[in-house]
């Protein structure tokens, strides 16, 4: 929705430049970010160098800024304060303004303490992939539209513009679809798939700013439809470039970019020939220098399924836990952890205090990783069998001492949930199930619409307004109670949670954005 607040920024004066920028704040329907503000700032953020801050004496009007000069590829941030606390924030996509221009710029302004909701996806999605483009847009790839005997796989792609939002915050469906993969029961090509990954490539290499899309499954139960296809998606043209396929097909894997810019793909499901689906303990690496995917020597703990991974910077990528089972199909969780160094070596490190599957790991500071929730059944159960209570533990791993510290409990025990790093440090934990089984067919426990925030200094606390939120509530910090939402993080714009599955295995259209604050 559009806020009543309008700001006309007029530049003129000593540099002989005159232009007008009308900033139109767009606010989420569930928030009132301008309520109770005592101070408002506009910040001009150049590509390089220090930002310029202008404090406004009023919350509407036409401030005249003398001698500003032309703007070239800058972003404009809006900061709102209640006393000395930053309570509202927004940032535009990169823009330019030359002499004589009259421009209208929409800026999404959100509260900094909770999730802002949009009208949602055009198509309900679960097991989709999401990634930012780094310039103010988020892309959501594929997924499954509904669960039944023949789940409907999606090949469509939706885009949400956060830096240049439309007044309704509606997504756009691209004309481009996912590229064709070869396989399936009849050997024909297919485009719709779920369980894929999408990773924005950083740095300055030739593929920087493109999104690496890998893997997925075209039909549940069909081993031949688990793909090893690797593509680069270019947000500038919204088109795909096919790369050489990976050695191993993977679906529902974990994908993490390391400090040197390579992307690691951890575990998940793979195919054995064209007849069987099984977990894989393999780690594959997309090497930026060669644009090829190769296998890392060594194996993940257990079956390599439903563990969690995060980057620890110069130390590499940490992977912990997951599930294993015996010949009878009885499963249990694992506690082992390994680090994949940036040189591609697999090194064992201290295990988690307890075994976990369907937990999360997220980086919360230099060399620090937070583990939250997960499943750890007290007795071995069939992999398609009983549900188990989700754990409320939270532990902090310090790579400098290779040790774990208890920082829990969570406000709500959860598994199959999401966790993402806050740009200013710490993490947001949201969604999930209070009880669940190992695989999605049995994950019909109570879904959780609640969110929590963790900081190293302040520990765990509920997202503002979620203090009374509990499993089984329909609405909390998130617009829907769901598990396994897609997650995308842009340090300049925020954390996006998309879709997911509710307790009755209905697929969500929900989108929620946690604003970045003034980091980035």
Tell me, what's the pLDDT at 390?
93
Alpha carbons 41 and 319: distance in angstroms, whole number: 41
Q: How far apart (Å, rounded) are the C-alpha atoms in residues 241 and 225?
A: 20
Residue 442 has φ and ψ, to the nearest 5°, of: -110, 10
In this prediction, residue 67 carries a pLDDT of 61
Instruction: Answer yes or no: is pLDDT of 2 > 50.
Output: no
Confidence check: pLDDT of 466 > 90: no
β-pairing, 95-97 vs 388-389, is: unpaired
pLDDT number for residue 89: 95
How do residues 65-124 score in pLDDT, each as one tens digit?
Answer: 666 778 899 999 999 999 999 999 999 999 998 888 888 999 999 999 999 999 999 999
Count helices and strands (H / E) in the chain.
0, 46
Please give the span between the terminal C-alpha atoms of the chain, in angstroms, as a whole number: 25
What fold does the segment set 7-111 form as a domain? Immunoglobulin-like (2.60.40)
Beta-strand runs (E) in 292-359 = 292-296, 308-311, 317-320, 323-325, 330-333, 337-340, 346-349
**Average pLDDT for 305-327:** 94
The whole-number pLDDT of residue 1 equals 41
At residue 442 the predicted structure's pLDDT band, cuts being 50, 70 and 90, is very low
User: What's the rounded Cα separation, in Å, for the pair 326 and 196?
Assistant: 27
Sign of torsion over alpha carbons 180, 182, 184, 188: positive
- Angstrom CA distances, 497 to 8, 110, 160, 173, 447, stand at 32, 15, 12, 18, 15
Cβ atoms 432, 415 nearer than 8 A? yes
The predicted pLDDT at position 330 comes to 82
Least-confidence region, from 114-118, 148-152, 348-352, 417-421: 148-152
4 pLDDT more than 70: no
**Model's pTM, two decimal places?**
0.95
**DSSP H stretches of helix in 264-306:** none
pLDDT at residue 98, as a whole number: 87
Q: Taking 80 as the threshold, does the pLDDT of residue 135 lie above it?
A: yes
Q: Does the pLDDT value for residue 296 go beyond 90?
A: yes
Q: Is it true that 7-111 and 115-515 share their CATH fold?
A: no
| pLDDT score at 517 | 77
Which has the higher per-residue pLDDT, 517 or 421? 421
- φ and ψ of 25, to 5 deg: -70, 130
**Distance from C-alpha of 434 to C-alpha of 453, rounded to nearest angstrom:** 18
The confidence score (pLDDT) of residue 343 equals 95
**Lookup result for tokens 């939270």:** 394
Q: Considering the chain, what is the average pLDDT of its residues? A: 89
Q: Average pLDDT in the 413-423 region?
A: 94
Residue boundaries of the structural domains of the chain: 7-111, 115-515
User: Residue 174 above 90 pLDDT?
Assistant: yes
| Mean pLDDT to the nearest integer, 398-422 | 96
pLDDT tens-digit profile of 478-515? Answer: 998 888 899 999 999 999 999 998 766 678 899 999 98
- The CA distance from 201 to 182, in Å, is 25
pLDDT bin (cut points 50, 70, 90) of residue 10 is low
CATH number for 115-515 (one of 3.30.70.240, 3.40.50.880, 2.120.10.80, 2.102.10.10): it is 2.120.10.80
With a cut of 50, say whether residue 268 has pLDDT above it: yes
- Name every residue whose Cβ is closer than 8 Å to that of residue 57 and which is 6 or more positions away in sequence: none
Residue 15 has pLDDT above 90, yes or no: no
Q: How confident is the model at residue 520 (pLDDT cuts 50, 70, 90)?
A: very low
Q: Say whether pLDDT at 470 is over 70.
A: yes
State both tokens at 429: 């934990």
In this predicted structure, the answer to whether residue 438 has a pLDDT above a threshold of 90 is no
pLDDT above 70: residue 186: no
Distance CA 416, CA 354 (A): 17
Tell me, what's the pLDDT at 159? 98
120, β-bridge pairs: none
For 468, residues 6+ apart whose C-beta sits below 8 A from its C-beta are none
Q: 3-class DSSP state for residue 323? A: strand
- Could you tell me which residues are beta bridge partners of residue 234? 239
- Supply the pLDDT for residue 441: 46
Mean pLDDT of 246-257: 95
Mean pLDDT of 329-340: 92
Bigger pLDDT: 504 or 193?
193
Per-residue three-class SS string for 432-500: CECEECCCHHHCCCCECCCEEEEECCCEEEECCCCCCCCCCCCCCCCCCCCECCEEEEECCCEEEEECC
The CA distance from 147 to 483, in Å, is: 14
């Amino acid at each position: 929705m559009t806020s009543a607040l309008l700001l006309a920024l007029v530049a003129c004066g000593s540099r002989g430049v005159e232009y007008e920028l009308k900033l139109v704040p767009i606010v989420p329907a569930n928030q009132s970010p301008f309520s109770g503000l005592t101070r408002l700032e506009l910040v001009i953020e150049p590509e390089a160098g220090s930002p310029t801050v202008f404090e406004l004496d009023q919350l509407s009007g036409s401030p005249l800024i003398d001698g500003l000069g032309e703007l070239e590829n800058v972003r404009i941030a809006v900061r709102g304060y209640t006393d000395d606390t930053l309570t509202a924030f927004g940032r535009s996509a990169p823009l330019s303004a030359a002499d004589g221009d009259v421009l209208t710029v929409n800026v999404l302004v959100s509260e900094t303490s909770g999730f802002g909701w949009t009208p949602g996806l055009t198509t309900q999605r679960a097991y989709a992939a999401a990634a930012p483009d780094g310039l103010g847009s988020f892309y959501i790839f594929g997924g499954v539209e509904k669960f039944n005997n023949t789940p409907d796989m999606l090949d469509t792609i939706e885009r949400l513009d956060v830096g240049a939002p439309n007044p309704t915050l509606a997504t756009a469906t691209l004309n481009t679809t996912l590229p064709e993969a070869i396989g399936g029961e009849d050997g024909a090509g297919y485009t719709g798939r779920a369980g894929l990954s999408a990773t924005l490539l950083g740095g300055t290499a030739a593929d920087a700013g493109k999104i690496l899309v890998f893997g997925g499954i075209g039909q549940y139960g069909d081993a031949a439809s688990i793909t090893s296809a690797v593509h680069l998606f270019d947000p500038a043209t919204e088109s795909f470039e096919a790369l050489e396929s990976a050695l191993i097909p993977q679906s529902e894997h974990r994908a993490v970019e390391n400090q040197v810019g390579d992307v690691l793909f951890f575990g998940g499901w793979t195919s054995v020939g064209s007849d069987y689906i099984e977990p894989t303990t393999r780690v594959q690496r997309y090497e930026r220098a060669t644009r090829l995917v190769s296998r890392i020597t060594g194996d993940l703990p257990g079956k390599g399924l439903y563990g969690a991974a995060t980057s620890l910077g110069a130390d590499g990528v940490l992977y912990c836990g997951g599930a294993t089972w015996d010949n009878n199909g009885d499963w249990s969780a694992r506690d082992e952890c390994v680090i994949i160094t940036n040189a591609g070596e697999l090194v064992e490190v201290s295990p988690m205090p307890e075994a976990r599957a369907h937990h999360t790991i997220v980086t919360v500071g230099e060399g620090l990783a937070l583990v939250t929730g997960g499943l750890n059944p007290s007795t071995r159960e069939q992999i398609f069998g009983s549900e188990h209570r989700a754990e409320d533990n939270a532990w902090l791993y310090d790579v400098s001492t290779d040790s774990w510290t208890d920082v829990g409990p969570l406000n709500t025990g959860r598994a199959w949930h999401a966790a993402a790093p806050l740009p200013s440090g710490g993490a947001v934990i949201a969604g999930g199930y209070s009880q669940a089984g190992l695989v999605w067919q049995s994950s019909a426990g109570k879904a959780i619409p609640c969110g929590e925030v963790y900081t190293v200094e302040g520990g765990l606390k509920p997202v503002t307004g979620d203090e009374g939120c509990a499993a089984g509530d329909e609405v909390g910090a998130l617009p829907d109670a769901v598990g396994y939402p897609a997650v995308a993080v842009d340090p300049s714009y925020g954390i996006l949670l998309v879709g997911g599955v509710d307790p009755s295995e209905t697929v969500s259209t929900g989108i929620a954005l946690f604003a970045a604050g003034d980091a980035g």
